[in-house]
């Protein structure tokens, strides 16, 4: 997803007459700290590509296959890191459905086996190299998340419903972010990212307590779809006309949306606290009926 960067001397840099933009919460996808490493898997395989065209047809095919295995490993490893970053960013999450990083390790082993294989030279050497490659990949990138996180005591059916609604909401937010790029205005892009971060706070609240899905579903579906469509129409109009009134109206819309989403998220959190207080009181009453004193009663004695 492309992002433009600029500063004081860029065509849309801030002037001294304009107020500084507020510090923004990021609306971008979470990034894994090792996200830049997979490119090295492609670079170390370049010798296979270079030497392939000096080989006989069989050698050409083997070297190209080895390079392809490394390239595929880089892709699957990168996707595995993205999935792990999304998993780590959430307090409640299911483990990735497919172990992409593990597949990346296997592909590295396959690439090394193909690169080291020579007819009549035996299989032990290539197998050892492949095993070393798999081990080094696992040491460099780690394993995929193997267990669900924060799922204890949560109805799996409800959690699946939440996952589907959150996935649909993320697609709407991505469409909204892509649409505003057509306006070619960095300040508006930052403003949309701020709203996206606010919407994702609601997503996280619903993931933490799937019972809130009914109360938040209209916001995560209908309202986000309307925001995406309004953003697309505004971006096309503003790119063509630079209409200041249209811009002011759109920014006011974003402000209203952010206010409403924040208020609803706070309500969801407060309702969760009220439910917890009720459960605690019910449990205390039951303990009292069983003759178990509460901590406050013990302290007064």
Paired with 93 in beta bridges are: 149
Please classify residue 208 by burial: count the beta carbons closer than 10 Å to its beta carbon, then call 0-12 exposed, 13-18 middle and 19+ buried.
middle
Ranges of each domain in the chain: 39-141, 156-289
- Interior angle at CA 246, CA 241 and CA 250, nearest 5: 130
What is the chain's alpha carbon radius of gyration, rounded to the nearest angstrom? 27
Specify the range with the lowest mean pLDDT, choosing from 1-10, 116-125, 151-160: 1-10
The tens digit of pLDDT for each residue in 87-135 reads: 887 777 778 888 999 999 999 999 999 988 877 777 888 999 999 999 9
SS3 (DSSP) at 149: strand
Cβ(101)–Cβ(84) below 8 Å: yes
Residue-level pLDDT at 159: 77
Query: Minimal CA–CA distance to 83: which of 146, 39, 135?
Result: 146
pLDDT above 90 as % of the chain:
49
* Predicted TM-score (pTM) of this structure: 0.59
Residue-level pLDDT at 153: 62
């Amino acid at each position: 997803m492309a992002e433009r960067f600029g500063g004081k001397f860029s065509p849309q840099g801030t002037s001294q007459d304009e107020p500084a933009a507020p510090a923004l919460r990021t609306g971008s996808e979470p990034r894994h700290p090792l996200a830049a490493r997979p490119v090295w898997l492609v670079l170390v395989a370049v010798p296979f590509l270079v030497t392939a065209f000096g080989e006989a047809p069989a050698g050409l095919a083997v070297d190209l296959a080895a390079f392809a295995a490394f390239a595929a490993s880089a892709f699957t490893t990168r996707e595995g890191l993205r999935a792990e970053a999304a998993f780590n960013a959430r307090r409640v999450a299911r483990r990735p459905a497919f172990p992409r990083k593990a597949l990346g390790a296997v592909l590295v082993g396959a690439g090394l086996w193909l690169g080291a294989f020579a007819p009549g030279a035996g299989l032990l050497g290539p197998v050892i190299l492949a095993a070393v490659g798999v081990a080094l990949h696992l040491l460099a990138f780690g394993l995929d998340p193997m267990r669900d996180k924060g799922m204890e005591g949560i109805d799996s059916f409800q959690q699946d419903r939440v996952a589907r609604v959150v996935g649909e909401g993320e697609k709407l937010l991505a469409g909204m972010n892509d649409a505003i790029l057509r306006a070619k205005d960095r300040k508006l892009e930052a403003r949309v990212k701020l709203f996206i971060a606010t919407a994702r706070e609601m997503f996280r609240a619903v993931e933490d307590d799937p019972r809130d899905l009914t109360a938040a579903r209209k916001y995560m579906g209908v309202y986000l779809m309307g925001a995406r469509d309004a953003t697309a129409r505004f971006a096309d109009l503003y790119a063509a006309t630079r209409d200041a009134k249209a811009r002011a109206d759109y920014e006011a819309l974003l402000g209203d949306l952010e206010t409403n989403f924040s208020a609803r998220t706070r309500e969801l959190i407060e309702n969760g606290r009220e439910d917890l207080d009720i459960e605690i009181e019910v449990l205390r009453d039951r303990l009292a009926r069983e003759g178990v004193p509460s901590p406050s009663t013990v302290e007064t004695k």
